[in-house]
Structure 1
């Protein structure tokens, strides 16, 4: 017996946030410098019915992240080609990012200005300048969307250097990543 198609509207932003925290917990076991990790978000009840061995009987979470095996490190290509079956009510992506203090903008502009005619070289120069900046912080960004339009992005700063590793969010965090993830349901 198969379950009826899950109603994505039944899931809240809090359910999505909890699933993202699970995604970050999974990726915390990976070494820093790992490729981005893509997850399908499936209702835990559906997963428990279809693959009972994958779900802890005490798991009361609404959504369960399912790691997607990918063969590309090119994030844009991956997000433009992925498609989801009906049982997947959302998706999430965890990637590493470098955060810079507001005063770093002048340093980045100086690195980019001579290379603006070559977008690839400018992008690489910006990446190198960001990694060399003394005020940089490394973090894992977890961004997720549901078919019903709910969106959340969480940031986990790399522990050490006085950082606690606490999860942070902001309404304007990673809008482009969230848009790209949402497009995987409309493409």
Structure 2
């Protein structure tokens, strides 16, 4: 993932929110029906000082904002591996300040939850949700820092616009917990 020209990254109050929105914007540029993607979040100043070659490759120069985080996309996730199992195998080096992941899922509105048939295994439940007329495709970008800070960006496919992205620190708590666990000592 490369940094964008100044002004193209959405404005946000804190570095973690800016990073999650930058990743959301990057994922949006790839289109829908993409695999999950994992990103290391590194302190931009530290990256520039300690890894100038990588910083140059990512398009980071001296004009990059101080106190910012640079997302660095990691290798493709193994196909078919459950996310929780995969995340359980990750240990980040000390230079990584945080991590983020984008995943696409189908969601149902709360009004549909009462009609979910009981006793379905995961595969049958996924089929039932995929066939439901009120289903919505959503892309979730969840980021966590070592200090426990969290941020999420949610983008609905039917409202696929940068101005329609929802943000919040606790929108996808399960994935945030799983990402935070990759920093457990």
Larger Rg: 1
Question: Unaligned stretches of 5+ in structure 2?
Answer: 1-12
Tell me which of 53, 70, 74 is aligned to 2:76: 70
Q: Are 1:39 and 1:66, in contact at CA under 8 Å, matched by a contact in 2? A: yes
Secondary structure class of the residue paired with 2:96: coil
Partner in structure 2 of residue 153 of structure 1: 152
CA distance in 1, matches of 2:28, 2:129: 23
Shift of 1:15: 1.1
Shift of 1:31: 3.6
Q: TM-score, normalised by structure 1?
A: 0.79
- Greater CA deviation, 68-77 or 95-104? 68-77
Q: Are 1:48 and 1:55, in contact at CA under 8 Å, matched by a contact in 2? A: no
CA distance in 2, matches of 1:37, 1:27: 9
Partner in structure 1 of residue 137 of structure 2: 138
1:175 equivalent to 2:173? Answer yes
Partner in structure 1 of residue 55 of structure 2: 52
1:29 equivalent to 2:59? Answer no
CA distance in 1, matches of 2:105, 2:115: 18
CA distance in 2, matches of 1:22, 1:170: 15
Secondary structure class of the residue paired with 1:141: strand
Cα deviation, 1:100-148, whole Å, max 9, x if unaligned, reads: 112211332x1xx244xxxxxx111111111111111111101111011
Shift in CA distance, 19/36, structure 1 to aligned 2, threshold 3 Å: same
Q: How many pairs were matched up?
A: 164
- Greater CA deviation, 176-185 or 42-51? 42-51
Secondary structure class of the residue paired with 1:72: coil
Q: TM-score, normalised by structure 2?
A: 0.80
Post-superposition, which runs of at least 4 consecutive aligned residues in structure 1 deviate over 3 A?
A: none
Question: Unaligned stretches of 5+ in structure 1?
Answer: 1-12, 116-121
RMSD over aligned CA atoms reads 2.0
Partner in structure 1 of residue 19 of structure 2: 19
CA distance in 2, matches of 1:151, 1:105: 27
